[in-house]
Amino acid sequence: MVKLHRVISNKKNHLWFYLLPIIFSLIGLFFIFETSAVRSYKEIGDSFHYLRLQTIWFILGIFLMMVLSAFDYHKLYYMAFFLMIGTIGLLFLVLIPNIGHEAGGARRWFDFGFFNIQPTELAKFSTVIYLSSWFIQRERKRFLSFLFLLGLLMFLIILQPNMGTAILIFFLSIVIYFIAGVEIHYLLFLIPISLGGFYFLVNISPYRFRRLLAFFNPELDPLGITYHLNQILISLGRGGLFGVGFSESKQKYLFLPEAHTDSIFAIIAEEMGFLGSFLLILSLMFLLYLIYRVFSNAPDRYGKLLAGGIFTFFNLQILINLAGMVNLIPLTGTPLPFISYGGSNLLVSFALMGILINIYRRSKIKI
């Protein structure tokens, strides 16, 4: 009876890895339609445009998660090098005029007409797979090679420019390096280098400098650089304890920039209030807990590095997005996993969950 209970319990826990991403994505679809309908109709003449595209990515994401959950994650080792080379190639290509699509002063997308692909999202996925494969063996004297690869990825991403993703790639790589336990003391040298690099990048870009000033003083330029942040804070304030109710947000009517993408949490907070937002954050934390448990009980070193990278990926994206919403850190344009609009990020998130499920299935100790 005890053994039967454990089997049933493990199957139930197993379902959470499938259910939570799907539930979060359905919540995202609802709010994406709400927040984008007016803008979509005004720009394209179709209120369902963004909802339709995200739904397609959602279906593809579920399919990809199912495939990778049944795919032996050890085989990713043999694909890692080609995946990274392909990613670096795409990061080069997107910078070329007439190949990469430019919007809002940034060249970050490949435009295929009815959908776009963002190679920086693939870079996050490739970083997890490649570094996990690279650090299976605790070989010495590989810090400089690691630094060169990290510097190349960040350089190509900053050229777009996309400093938020570059910072995320930096921390993601550092954590995987730390988990691998290879020459950890060398990481201390990165502290002054990274601080100096951040100072340099902020100073050479007036826009980044003004954005940093906006973080310290939201009242600085209410109709300019601090407009986005102020509209987010207005959304959070209007929500109160219980929210204004579904579909009752006023900020979504072209007041809040990027309402269906990076700032979607602000609309959720406005309509669902503090209690609804807290419940959503609690659910995201539960997902992170499940991922951490897979990391803790991984069956081998490769599984542990992969699960650690996946745990870091979701942690960073959730933390950076939510911290930006409440002005704990400057806004970076990082999406909220499964919820924000964006097909590339949604596919990567589902793909990583598929790999995690495969690691979980091979774990001796179940959650």
- Strand, helix or coil for residue 268: helix
- For residues 299 and 359, the answer to whether their CB atoms sit within 8 Å is yes
- For residues 285 and 24, the answer to whether their CB atoms sit within 8 Å is no
Range from 137-146, 175-184, 323-332 carrying the lowest mean pLDDT: 137-146
Host H or E run for residue 117: strand 116-117
- Helices 119-134, 163-180: axis angle to 10 degrees equals 10
Report pLDDT digits (tens) over 162-204: 888 998 999 999 999 989 887 777 777 777 877 787 777 777 7
- Listing DSSP states for 223-248 in one string gives TTTTHHHHHHHHHHHHHTTT-S-TT-
The larger pLDDT score, comparing residue 138 to residue 73, is at: 73
Give the pLDDT score at 252.
Answer: 82
Report the amino acid identity of residue 355.
I
- Alpha-carbon distance of 309 to 135, in angstroms, equals 12
- Alpha-carbon distance of 123 to 43, in angstroms, equals 30
Range from 3-12, 128-137, 268-277, 304-313 carrying the lowest mean pLDDT: 3-12
The average pLDDT across 323-332 equals: 87
Give the pLDDT score at 210.
Answer: 73
Host H or E run for residue 292: helix 264-296
Distance of CA 58 to the CA centre of its chain: 15
Sign for the CA dihedral angle at 40, 41, 42, 43 comes to positive
- Alpha-carbon distance of 94 to 157, in angstroms, equals 10
Burial class (CB in 10 A: 0-12, 13-18, 19+), 216: exposed
- Alpha-carbon distance of 37 to 51, in angstroms, equals 8
* pLDDT at 365 > cutoff 70: no
Neighbours of 172 (CB within 10 A): 23
Q: How confident is the model at residue 12 (pLDDT cuts 50, 70, 90)?
A: low
Sorted by sequence, the CB contacts under 8 Å of residue 78 that are 6+ apart come out as none
The mean pLDDT value of the chain amounts to 86
* pLDDT at 223 > cutoff 60: yes
Q: Which residues pair with 111 in a beta bridge?
A: 116
- Alpha-carbon distance of 136 to 258, in angstroms, equals 40
Report pLDDT digits (tens) over 21-74: 999 999 999 999 988 888 888 888 888 989 999 999 999 999 999 999 999 999
The average pLDDT across 318-344 equals: 91
Neighbours of 106 (CB within 10 A): 14
The average pLDDT across 241-269 equals: 87
The average pLDDT across 288-302 equals: 94
Q: How confident is the model at residue 367 (pLDDT cuts 50, 70, 90)?
A: low
Termini Cα distance of the chain: 19
User: pTM for the full model?
Assistant: 0.92
Strand 106-111 with 116-117, pairing: antiparallel
Domain edges within the chain: 2-85+123-361
The average pLDDT across 242-267 equals: 86
